[in-house]
Amino acid sequence: MLLLPYFPKTDLPVLLLFIGRFHPLILHFPIVIIFLTLALEFLYKTNLLQRNERTIALMLGLASLSVFFVVLAGYFLFASGEYTGELIMSHFKAGIFAGSGILITTVLYLIGQYSNRKILNFYFTSLILTNAIVGYASHLGGTITHGKDYLTEYLPEIFNKRNTATKPKEEMLVYEDLIVPFLTTKCISCHNEHKTKGDYLMTSYATLVKGGKSGNSGLVKHYPEQSELYKRITLPVDHDDHMPPEGKKPLSLHEIEIMEYWINAGASTKQLLIDIPQDSAITQTIESYLPESRRLNGKILKQKAEKERLLTELTELAKKLNVSVQEDQTSEENFFTLSMQFPPANFTGEQLKELQAYFLLFTKVSLVASDIKDDDLFLIGQMTNLRELYLQKTAINGSGLVYLKDLQYLERLNLSFTQTNDATVLEVLQFPSLKQVYLFGSQVSPQVLQALRANQLSREFLLEEGPYN
């Protein structure tokens, strides 16, 4: 058994693959039995239960028999190649130690029982150790199935009672716990510091009141009809000024009602839910809206945590590769931008490949003056959320542009100071969303440029150096 990890993975007969799938089911048997054995031993030792050697012998026998099949099935599952990675290897090894532990414990017990009673002390130590290893191996196995942090996911919420998602109702504030969550999920993406549509910043109470371009106050205490925010959310959905704009998820009727009530009541940030008179018409609405507000709060927190995790991982990797990774501030989702540092490091397709696990998270990539080649654009073609790509001062001649033609969101492409020529530049005509192409200092001739400009009115072909990131 101990040698199993050193067996190479081979093609297994289907029957063995079938047996392998039983591993997650049958593994529970030896775990429970070996734990019960330990529990029994404690009960015997403390005289809470009458000692019965046959029970122990039976339990150990069953544990040994079942663990043998569990390890075998586990090996088949492993050898099928369905699972790979370090975690799998650790679980595999821990599982084998656990299995060996059970067998050794059984043997020690039998020797102790039937020939040399001194060995029984070793048996007991071995039983405790084995239980610990089984626990560890099971934990690793659970991590494979449920993911890291599964066990501890709710811990912060247990300790952090003030977490809005789980805050008791008596402490909930109308503004902070009911209103902010839906404004955050439905409005902030266009009304934040980086992207302030209509000059209306919705990230704090003060700016929410202040209003935007129209000059009207966003919130007028006690007068919803005079509040620009309320006016916008209650316009007919197909009205040009309705908020959020067409295509974005509108506020629900409950959310609009709560907003109206809150402004009428004075739009205070301090009003508690329990301050609302029980008999008022809004209590019913709020009651049925509570689960939704908790869900939104949970979602916001989770997304924040996820972003932090990704940012930490990416920052570490970026440091290693000598490049710079930043949050994409213009996006409401967890997106990032990649750019070169100055002076530029050695950055080729090899280095780019190291970021492959995160390709879908990049919206903006600037590889100015890097060592990226045409062939490497194949990798960039996998960044399906890419909106802007800066390739100026690289050695490409445009022959790899064909790899980018399926990028649905690519709007801006900078090819200044590259060897892109009359033939290769035509590839960009296939790009579905492209709006701007920079071609200053490239090999594209004035005639082709003119023809492109005349025929491709939806795109701009610019003879400018263009932005760098």
Residue type at position 4 = L
Please report how close the Cβ of residue 190 comes to ligand HEC at its closest, in angstroms. Answer: 3
Least distance between ligand HEC and beta carbon 292 (Å): 15
Tokens describing residue 369: 């003056």
Length of the chain in terms of residues written: 469
- Cα–Cα dist 30/59, whole Å: 9
Q: Does 229 bind ligand HEC (CB under 6 A)?
A: yes
What span, in angstroms and rounded, lies between the C-alpha atoms of 385 and 364? 9
User: Which residue, 197 or 453, has its beta carbon nearer to ligand HEC?
Assistant: 197
Helix (H) or strand (E) holding 121: helix 119-146
Among 80, 113, 192, 214, binds ligand HEC (CB under 6 A): 214
Nearer to ligand HEC, 117 or 248 (CB): 248
Name 9's Cβ contacts closer than 8 Å, sequence gap at least 6.
Answer: 78, 79, 80, 81
Q: Which residues, numbered 246-285, are part of the site for ligand HEC (CB under 6 A)?
A: 248, 251
Of 9-17, 88-96, 146-154, 229-237, the window that binds ligand HEC (rule: CB under 6 A) is: 229-237
* Shortest distance, position 241 Cβ to ligand HEC, whole Å: 5
Q: Is residue 361 within the footprint of ligand HEC (CB under 6 A)?
A: no
The one among 181, 211, 381, 400 contacting ligand HEC by CB under 6 A: 211
Q: Which of 189, 455, 396 has its CA nearest to residue 300?
A: 189
Indicate the SS3 state at residue 324: strand
Q: Write the CA distances from 135 to 78, 142, 319, integer angstroms.
A: 20, 10, 37
| Cα radius of gyration rounded to whole Å, the chain | 32
Q: Does 216 bind ligand HEC (CB under 6 A)?
A: yes
Helices assigned H by DSSP within 176-324: 180-186, 205-210, 228-234, 253-264, 282-321
- Considering only 181, 212, 398, 400, the residue that binds ligand HEC (CB under 6 A) is 212
Residues of span 168-187 touching ligand HEC by CB under 6 A: 186-187
- In the list 143, 189, 234, 271, the residue contacting ligand HEC (rule: CB under 6 A) is 189
Q: Does 244 bind ligand HEC (CB under 6 A)?
A: yes
Of 190 and 220, the one with the shorter C-beta distance to ligand HEC is: 190
Report the candidate in 250, 155, 69, 443 with the shortest Cα–Cα distance to residue 259: 250
- Stretch near ligand HEC under the rule CB under 6 A, chosen from 135-143, 205-213, 320-328, 425-433: 205-213
Q: Is 201 in the site for ligand HEC (CB under 6 A)?
A: no
Question: Between vectors from CA 427 to CA 424 and to CA 433, what angle results, nearest 5°?
Answer: 145
Instruction: Catalog residues that contact ligand HEC under the rule CB under 6 A.
Output: 186-187, 189-191, 197-198, 200, 211-214, 216, 218, 228-229, 232-233, 241, 243-245, 248, 251
